[in-house]
Chains A and B, each alone.
Chain A
């Protein structure tokens, strides 16, 4: 006899099977490519939370709003290049990563020179004080050194592989691995 699902499980399964966002995305992307900003707004509504989350973790809360907007504007400009081979969400995500990393590169010279990569930049707790002050995990991610943060977010939060991260960040897979370890080692202090 087949195992009975709970009402909630059944509801979720039906909802997911009935109208996945991917199909809605496909229609709306087609319309947006024709210049339909209403369709593009629907795409925005469906994806903004994820893109904003990425921007916030990769670049920090101060720049997250602007980078999210930049990402969607870039997507609007490039939507003719979306041909539906992959899910719209994945395509949009790649666009956003490119925007965010481009932003980082533009700021890199200024920020990296004025604020060398340190765990406790921007007032975060120093290594010695970490046992006294437990940061929120999201805040701790934001305060990681930029390269380690990017690799950590892309690998452990978003699930990209080291060779994919290497291509995005223009680093070797080995560097990606070492930066990931560095990030994890720093973050474990927040959970201690």
Chain B
């Protein structure tokens, strides 16, 4: 079918129209053209379908496990010369992560025990603003028993809601909890090496504050 120059011109602007990238006056002109041009109307519908389809694509994993090849190459990299780089994170950073995580987890546990009020769930100690020494004091004050107690109470919360969750979700949550536990263990090990670093305490306290926020939300969600 032969198309007019006008149709050609406007057809080239249909993507901009879809993306709301046209000036008001140009959009009005295009809409006026659409009223009388079936060709452009059809094209617009099809372009909308393309955009919708693109937005709903689902990623599929690779057919084979690519990790062994990656592991081999990064091992080669390491063996080719230990990387002489300045680390973005260091042992003290990890140490501070462990300190703060322990502190916040304990604080959260007390809030949970107090009835899951998100508004009340403030940390017992303002860790984020605490100087490094406070963090270290916290580290020494918070005994393993306190931490285990906090975790136990959080797990109790999950147990209560567990029957309302499907099996797959429970398994996913447990897997993720296991990953976090492993990260905590590793951070604790690093803590023993060099626990004093003010910058890292502040830095990681901020990170752990995010965790506090997440747990607040979780507590609120159990009421859904």
Let me know if B161 and A30 touch, CB within 8 A.
no
Complex CA–CA separation, A79 to B74 (angstroms): 12
Tally of A-B residue pairs with Cβ under 8 A?
A: 184
- List the A residue with the shortest CB-CB distance to B154: A18
Complex CA–CA separation, A65 to B218 (angstroms): 38
Let me know if B210 and A49 touch, CB within 8 A.
no
A-contact 0/1 string along B202-224, CB 8 Å cutoff: 00000100110011011001101
Let me know if A65 and B16 touch, CB within 8 A.
no
Q: Determine if A177 is an interface residue (Cβ-Cβ < 8 Å).
A: yes
Partner of A30, one of B47, B69, B94: B94
Let me know if B214 and A33 touch, CB within 8 A.
no
Let me know if B74 and A26 touch, CB within 8 A.
no
Q: Determine if B156 is an interface residue (Cβ-Cβ < 8 Å).
A: no
Let me know if B165 and A23 touch, CB within 8 A.
no
Q: List 7 A-B contacts (CB under 8 A).
A: A2-B224, A10-B165, A24-B176, A33-B87, A49-B61, A69-B73, A77-B77
Inside 8 A of B21's CB, which chain A residues have their CB?
177
Q: Determine if A119 is an interface residue (Cβ-Cβ < 8 Å).
A: no
Complex CA–CA separation, A151 to B74 (angstroms): 31
Q: Main SS of chain B's interface residues? A: helix
| A residues adjacent to B (C-beta < 8 A) | 2, 4-5, 7-8, 10-15, 17-21, 23-24, 26-31, 33-37, 39-42, 44-45, 48-50, 52-53, 64-65, 68-69, 72-73, 76-77, 79-84, 137-138, 152, 156-157, 177, 180-181, 184-185, 187-188, 191-192
Let me know if B61 and A48 touch, CB within 8 A.
yes
**Size of B's binding interface in residues, CB under 8 A:** 66
**Smallest distance from the beta carbon of B213 to chain A beta carbons, Å?**
9
Let me know if A34 and B166 touch, CB within 8 A.
no
Lowest 10 A-B CB distances belong to which pairs?
Answer: A53-B59, A30-B89, A156-B54, A188-B46, A27-B183, A181-B15, A19-B176, A11-B169, A17-B217, A11-B165
With A17-B217, A69-B73 given, is the CB distance from A10 to B59 under 8 Å?
A: no
Let me know if B218 and A27 touch, CB within 8 A.
no
Let me know if A48 and B66 touch, CB within 8 A.
yes
Partner of B176, one of A10, A18, A185: A18
Complex CA–CA separation, A52 to B90 (angstroms): 30
Complex CA–CA separation, A73 to B77 (angstroms): 9
**Smallest distance from the beta carbon of B192 to chain A beta carbons, Å?**
15
Let me know if A7 and B166 touch, CB within 8 A.
yes
With A17-B221, A23-B214, A184-B51 given, is the CB distance from A31 to B94 under 8 Å?
A: yes
A-contact 0/1 string along B170-202, CB 8 Å cutoff: 001100110110010011001000000000000
Q: Determine if B141 is an interface residue (Cβ-Cβ < 8 Å).
A: no
Inside 8 A of B221's CB, which chain A residues have their CB?
10, 13-14, 17
